[in-house]
Amino acid sequence: MSALTPFAKKHKVTVIGSGNWGSTIGKMVAENTAEHPELFERDVQMWVYEEQVEVDKKSKIYDESHELCKGSQKLTAVINTFHENVKYLPDIALPHNLVANPSLTDAVKNSSILIFNLPHQFIINLCKQMRGHILPFARGISCIKGVNVKESSISLFSETIGEELGIYCGALSGANIAKEIAAEKFSETTIAYDPPLVDSQAPTPATSQGPSPASSHVDLTKLAHKDASGKPSKVILKPLPAEYHPIDQDTIKKLFHRRYFHVRVVSDVAGVSLGGALKNVVAVAAGWVDGLGWGDNAKAAVMRVGLLEMREFGNRFFPHTVHPDTFTVESAGVADLITTCSGGRNHRCAKLSIMEGKSIEEIEARELNGQKLQGAMTAHEVHTFLKSQNAEKDFPLMTAVHNILMGTEKAENIPDLIEPEDE
Ligand SMILES: NC(=O)c1ccc[n+]([C@@H]2O[C@H](COP(=O)([O-])OP(=O)(O)OC[C@H]3O[C@@H](n4cnc5c(N)ncnc54)[C@H](O)[C@@H]3O)[C@@H](O)[C@H]2O)c1
Ligand SMILES: O=P(O)(O)OC[C@H](O)CO
């Protein structure tokens, strides 16, 4: 113990995912670890789903004499050599201390802070691969916009990750179109982070020897937290060893906040997560309305109904934890809805799909170069859950989006579907 001065260990940070948002978050986090050497290890690991890519001749980094610019190459090699994610975040210089790693288990090894940033359909499988390879006391932040539905149950990805890995996981969400933030244009975000007090800031049990040295003697069985729906969580959190600086709200803010990316830290994990997931469904409807050429008033009507349904969804299905104000006060609520329904990928692809008479999946494959939409999948998942609760009629917009995607309704009928004429 004598060799260990307080906070002798710095936090190692890993970003799991390297898409459009994953790479942007990796950029900001690596900028911050370099600026806070007292808290964090400088190098940030970024797990990359390995694939073959070609460096485009029009790209600024193209160098005809370089081996990696000839034919198809590993994405990780290209990122680590040219410090650019040519496929998912082209033309943005990444910090040299952001290290692409194709091995998930190696990328997360010894990391005390794990940032999850993947399309939601991939996360459970990845958590299973990570089990047994992470520090048991690690803390997580989920930047994933989606919900985890299994027939009649719904959970947030912060909860799912927490339960799969036995760690606490908060959530980051906001009006955050990645390519704008990567170009360092101003934006805000909301981070919900409220772990139970098992770390060194927790009041530790009094002993005859005086206060416990930082963290390690808390009775964890009494501290198992509740998940966002109010059910007792299966996770029994492990306290952070005393040699680490606490991973508190201040530490989390230092990890994400940039001059161009303003962070507000709150406690409402459920509200922040639901806002990010449900707005993607509304964005699909907004895209259709724009594609029909109905103008801004029509889109505003869809957004108004969508916001009310988002708030009602939180109140009804997460009554113990959602703070209804989150949807209107925080970037993770109405601000995200506005930006998504203007410049987001879900909106753009839905708009093109109706203009061209093609499915959203066809447009996604043609337009997004491997990036993944979350709106259509989330609409189906939310519908499965609403149906199981016999609540479809109380969420007419969410239900309409599902039915239109399924081809049993038409986007042209949205006005009647969201506000039946006899009401
Ligand atoms: N892009 C944005 O503007 C933005 C902003 C805020 C939040 N988000 C959210 O962030 C999350 C991640 O989205 P993104 O934009 O970084 O991703 P993306 O859509 O840009 O890219 C898709 C990613 O999925 C990976 N992938 C493909 N197949 C895979 C597989 N089988 N297993 C694991 N990974 C696989 C790809 O390598 C790539 O990294 C989503 O929930 C999204 O809603 C995105
Ligand atoms: O491009 P979208 O539709 O996935 O939305 C991106 C962000 O979530 C906007 O905040």
Q: Where are the domains of the chain?
A: 11-267, 275-417
348 close to ligand 1 (CB < 6 Angstrom): no
Closest-lying ligand 1 atom to the alpha carbon of residue 21: 16
Which residue, judged by its Cα, is nearest atom 37 of ligand 1?
49
User: Measured in angstroms, how far is the CA atom of residue 29 from the centroid of ligand 1?
Assistant: 17
Residue whose CA is closest, atom 44 of ligand 1?
Answer: 21
- 54 phi-psi bin (left φ>0, alpha ψ -120 to 50, beta other): beta
Whether the pLDDT of residue 379 is over 60: the answer is yes
CA distance 396 to 60: 48
What φ, ψ does residue 339 adopt, rounded to 5°? -65, -40
Lowest mean pLDDT: which of 46-60, 113-127, 215-229? 215-229
What stretch of H or E contains 195? Answer: none
pLDDT at 419: 86
Ligand 1 pocket, 123 CB below 6 A?
Answer: no
What is the torsion angle, in degrees rounded to the nearest 10, for the CA atoms of residue 14, residue 16, residue 17 and residue 21? -60
% of the chain surpassing 90 pLDDT: 86
Which of residues 306 and 419 earns the better pLDDT score?
306
User: What Cα–Cα distance (Å) separates residue 388 from each residue in 142, 277, 391?
Assistant: 26, 19, 8
pLDDT reported for residue 223: 44
Give CA–CA dist 335/289, Å, rounded: 19
The C-alpha atoms of residue 7 and residue 10 are separated, in whole angstroms, by 7
11-267, CATH topology level: Rossmann fold (3.40.50)
Catalytic residue, from 27, 238, 279, 351: name it: 279
Q: What mean pLDDT is predicted for residues 157-180?
A: 96
Question: What is the structure's pLDDT at 197?
Answer: 72
Packing angle, helices 269-291 and 157-165, rounded to 10: 130
Q: Is the pLDDT of residue 351 over 80?
A: yes
Percentage above 70 pLDDT, the chain:
89
Average pLDDT over residues 300-309: 98
Ligand nearest to the CA of 141: 1
Ligand 2 neighbours, Cβ below 6 Å, are 145, 175-177, 280, 283, 336, 339-340, 344-346, 374
Pick the CATH number of 275-417 from 1.10.1040.10, 1.20.120.1200, 1.20.1440.230, 3.40.50.300: 1.10.1040.10
282 exposure class (CB count in 10 Å sphere: 0-12, 13-18, 19+): buried
Mean pLDDT in the chain?
91
Residue 222 designated active-site? no
Write out the DSSP string of 106-151: HHHTT-SEEEE-S-GGGHHHHHHHHTTSS-TT-EEEE----EEEET
* Residue in the block written with tokens 């993944």: 372
Q: How far apart are CA 396 and CA 168, in angstroms?
A: 34
Given this model, what pLDDT does residue 226 score?
Answer: 58
Question: Does ligand 1 come within 6 angstroms of the Cβ of 21?
Answer: yes
pLDDT at 171: 98
Mutate to test the pocket of ligand 2, among 336, 337, 341, 367 (most ligand atoms within 8 A of CB): 336
Structure confidence at residue 421 (pLDDT): 58
Range 82-99 average pLDDT: 98
Strands (E), 124-242: 139-142, 147-150, 153-156, 168-173, 187-192
Full-model pTM: 0.93
**Is pLDDT above 90 for 137?**
yes
Q: Which atom of ligand 2 is nearest to the CA of 375?
A: 3
User: Of 151 and 126, which is predicted with more confidence?
Assistant: 126
